[in-house]
């Protein structure tokens, strides 16, 4: 504020009161913005954590299962060409190959588990940029220019070259890091907080007359009105980003996981067990076919299963579906209820290799 150098007139008092009210609103806007930014940051961290947990527990299993499917497909193709395999067994192999190469064996999309070819730009992005880049609300050019003006003022003031000694240079360097990061994010709230933290509006006017004081007060009032407008615009953007993430598949996944966790059910743990079981079953199938190609006979355990398919009117696809439920649980999924066909088939000693 202005130091008391002359007697305050009613108009000066009125302007100072208006300025005081705007300062309160300014601080209120910053508090509201910081609160929403914390909500957004926490939401993103939870989703990133869930993605990491999912990747750690599931992705390498999916890769392993995908590799096994490829090996099994090659064996089945080899078997259909073999002169030593009878027509009945070749028919069984053809059915197996059809089911193995279907789009969503075990409810798993074809190609899931294969690492995509990523360009350099993608590889250079952080997990936050990869996951949440699409939810970032665009800022219009006029607002970008307004933010840039504040950035330039701060950068000019706190550039390390402006420091008078090494201690101040280190301090300015630290402040500039905050300024650059805030500008990179187009975070007007952070830039204004820096300005407030390290700035002072106390002024000693060279000509402390009423006109000079009024000019200063009116300039400060306009500045605060402008900054409040920018803060409110950013607040709207942050709230929209939170809303969009919550409505997205990522948000729904987090919500579903939270809902199941409250019921004492761990979907990721369940999917991990199912993937391991699917791998065991496909490994058994692969070993059985390898024995058929080598010795000309199916293992007894495999014969039992093939016989059950024909007698129980159950297809290979039905059996495959029984190994693992869909990777994405339906919204009405109840963990306490039995899932159709998830019971493991009986295994015999012959199935253990």
Alpha helices (runs of H) in 56-140, residue ranges in sequence order: 60-81, 87-100, 120-123, 127-132
pLDDT for 306 equals 66
pLDDT for 33 equals 95
Query: What mean pLDDT is reported for the chain?
Result: 77
pLDDT for 23 equals 92
Count of all residues that appear for the chain in the document = 353
The DSSP code sequence of 257-291 is HHHHHHTT--HHHHHHHHHHHHHHHHHHHHHHHHH
Is this model's pTM higher than 0.85 or not?
no
Least confident span in 6-10, 115-119, 337-341: 337-341
- How far is 302 from 313, CA to CA, in rounded Å? 16
Is the per-residue pLDDT at 91 higher than 70? yes
Residue corresponding to tokens 């008092």:
13
Contact 350/300 with Cβ under 8 angstroms?
A: yes
Residue 132: band (very low, low, confident or very high) from pLDDT cuts 50, 70, 90? confident
pLDDT in tens, 199-257: 655 544 444 577 778 888 898 899 999 999 999 999 999 999 999 999 998 888 888 88
pLDDT for 6 equals 52
Q: Which two tokens stand for residue 213?
A: 């004081």
pLDDT for 57 equals 79
Least confident span in 31-45, 134-148, 244-258, 303-317: 303-317
pLDDT in tens, 256-294: 888 888 888 787 888 888 888 888 888 988 898 888 888
- How far is 26 from 195, CA to CA, in rounded Å? 13
Is the per-residue pLDDT at 136 higher than 80? yes
Alpha helices (runs of H) in the chain, residue ranges in sequence order: 10-54, 60-81, 87-100, 120-123, 127-132, 141-158, 166-184, 188-198, 210-247, 249-262, 267-295, 300-311, 316-323
Residues near 11 by beta carbon (within 8 Å), at least 6 away in sequence: 210, 214
Q: Which residues, in sequence order, are bridge partners of residue 203?
A: 2
pLDDT for 323 equals 38
């Amino acid at each position: 504020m202005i130091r008391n150098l002359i007697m305050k007139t009613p108009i000066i008092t009125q302007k100072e009161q208006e300025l005081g009210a705007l300062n309160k609103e300014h601080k209120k806007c910053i508090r509201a913005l910081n609160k929403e930014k914390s909500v957004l940051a926490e939401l993103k961290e939870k989703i990133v954590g869930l993605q990491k947990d999912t990747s750690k527990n599931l992705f390498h299993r999916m890769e392993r299962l995908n590799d096994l499917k490829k090996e099994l497909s090659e064996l089945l193709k080899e078997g259909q060409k073999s002169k030593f395999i009878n027509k009945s067994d070749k028919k069984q192999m053809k059915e197996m190959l059809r089911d193995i190469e279907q789009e969503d064996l075990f409810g798993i999309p074809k190609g899931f588990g294969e690492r995509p070819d990523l360009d350099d730009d993608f590889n250079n992005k952080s997990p936050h940029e990869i996951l949440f880049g699409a939810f970032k609300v665009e800022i219009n050019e006029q607002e970008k220019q307004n933010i840039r003006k504040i950035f330039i003022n701060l950068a000019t003031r706190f550039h390390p070259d402006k420091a008078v000694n090494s201690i101040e240079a280190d301090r300015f360097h630290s402040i500039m890091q905050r300024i650059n990061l805030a500008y990179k994010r187009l975070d007007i709230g952070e830039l204004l907080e820096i300005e407030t933290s390290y700035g002072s509006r106390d002024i000693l006017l060279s000509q402390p007359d009423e006109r000079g004081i009024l000019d200063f007060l009116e300039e400060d009032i306009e500045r605060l009105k402008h900054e409040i407008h920018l803060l409110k615009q950013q607040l709207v953007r942050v709230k929209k980003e939170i809303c969009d993430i919550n409505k997205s598949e990522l948000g729904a996944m987090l919500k579903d996981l939270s809902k199941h966790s409250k019921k004492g059910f761990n979907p990721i743990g369940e999917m991990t067990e199912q993937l391991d079981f699917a791998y065991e079953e496909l490994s058994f199938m692969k070993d059985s076919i390898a024995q058929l190609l080598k010795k000309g006979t199916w293992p007894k355990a495999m014969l039992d299963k093939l016989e059950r398919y024909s007698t129980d009117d159950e297809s290979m696809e039905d059996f495959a579906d029984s190994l693992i439920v869909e990777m994405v649980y339906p919204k009405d999924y109840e963990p306490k209820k039995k899932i159709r066909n998830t019971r493991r088939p009986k295994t015999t000693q012959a199935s253990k290799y």
